[in-house]
């Protein structure tokens, strides 16, 4: 039984030019724009696996792209889920879930868990993923995920096709393989995370800058660069 996914219905094929680089943006002439009807076109988005369930018997996971951060302090995030999804009732009943970031190695499982229902399938066994306990919530995290964000639901906002679970982040579980033992820095890029863009999955591209680089003075060094030069 195929399950409805948290994906948009707007058809980008209506505008073939959307797939090509807009070279007019670098020219002096004003670019030509098309007016479209309202739709969900905020892309790319993280393609995450949300795990839920208070007991092994009800452990489940579903693919979600409608997710993000809503507040820094206190740390809060959200997921939006259709009422028809098997995981919807589990999350609403237990009031907790985990957002598990996904990687290139998890791409097939990420897509598969979005088109199969936990009512009919044991997704863990089918995809070879491992439910793992954590000290923050009863819901499991996914052992194969590089980063799992454990959440407790603060509010459920009924919207339309989806309900939004507004949640407090109560703990993070990070894979030590991607943590620099000297600096403690977590390098998600090494895990090759994937994103979702209107029905398609992509890995991330090259690094083009860091936060604040646009206003950084040319002759200054970052603290990490200074430390490395001292060690040399």
For 110-131, the pLDDT digits (tens) are 999 999 999 999 999 999 999 9
Q: Is residue 46 within 8 Å of 193, Cβ to Cβ?
A: yes
- Domain-located, residue 5: no
Total structural domains within the chain: 1
Tokens 């919207």 correspond to 159
| Closest to 40 in 3D by CA, of 83, 9, 5, 67 | 9
Share of the chain above pLDDT 90, in %: 78
Residue 220's pLDDT band, with cuts at 50, 70 and 90, is: low
pLDDT of residue 230: 40
Mean pLDDT of the region 91-106? 98
8 pLDDT exceeds 90? Answer: no
Contact status, residue 188 vs residue 147, Cβ threshold 8 Å: yes
- 116 within a domain of the structure (yes/no): yes
Residue 221, domain member (yes or no):
no
Q: Is residue 154 part of a domain?
A: yes
Q: Supply the pLDDT for residue 28.
A: 72
Task: Note whether residue 218 is domain-resident.
Answer: no
Mean pLDDT for all residues in the chain = 87
- Residue 27, pLDDT score: 56
For residue 222, name the pLDDT band (cuts at 50, 70, 90). Answer: low
* Poorest-pLDDT segment among 3-17, 37-51, 142-156, 175-189: 3-17
Domain at 90, CATH number? 2.30.110.10
29 lies in some domain: no
Assess if residue 222 is contained within a domain: no
What 3-state DSSP class applies to 95? coil
Report the C-alpha gap between 25 and 70 in whole angstroms: 31
Q: What domain range includes position 104?
A: 41-212
Give the lowest-confidence range in 5-14, 180-189, 215-224.
Answer: 5-14
- Is 49 a residue whose pLDDT tops 90? yes
Out of 14-18, 60-64, 102-106, 146-150, which region has the weakest mean confidence (pLDDT)? 14-18
CA 35, CA 30: separation in Å to the nearest integer? 15
Helices (H), 77-222: 86-94, 107-115, 123-127
Q: What is the pLDDT of residues 140-179, one digit of tens each?
A: 999 999 999 999 999 999 999 999 999 999 999 999 999 9
pLDDT score for 225: 52
Cα separation, 177 vs 179, in Å, equals 6
């Amino acid at each position: 039984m195929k399950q409805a996914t948290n994906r948009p219905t707007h058809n980008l094929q209506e505008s073939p030019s959307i797939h090509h680089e807009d070279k007019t943006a670098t020219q002096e002439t004003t670019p030509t724009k098309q007016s479209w009807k309202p739709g969900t076109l905020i892309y790319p988005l993280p393609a995450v696996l949300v795990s839920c369930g208070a007991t092994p018997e009800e452990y489940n996971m579903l693919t979600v792209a409608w997710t993000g951060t809503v507040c820094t302090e206190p740390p809060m995030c959200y997921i939006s889920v259709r009422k028809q999804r098997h995981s919807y009732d589990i999350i609403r009943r237990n009031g907790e879930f985990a957002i598990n970031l996904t990687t290139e190695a998890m791409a097939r499982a990420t897509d598969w868990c979005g088109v199969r229902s936990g009512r009919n399938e044991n997704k863990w066994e089918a995809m070879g993923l491992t439910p793992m306990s954590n000290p923050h919530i009863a819901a499991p995290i996914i052992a194969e995920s590089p980063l799992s964000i454990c959440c407790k639901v603060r509010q459920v906002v009924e919207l339309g096709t989806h309900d939004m679970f507004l949640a407090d982040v109560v703990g993070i579980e990070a894979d030590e393989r991607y943590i620099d033992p000297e600096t403690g820095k977590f390098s998600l890029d090494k895990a090759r995370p994937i994103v979702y863009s209107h029905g398609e999955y992509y890995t991330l591209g090259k690094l083009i800058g860091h936060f604040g680089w646009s206003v950084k003075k040319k002759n200054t060094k970052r603290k990490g660069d200074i430390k490395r030069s001292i060690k040399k």
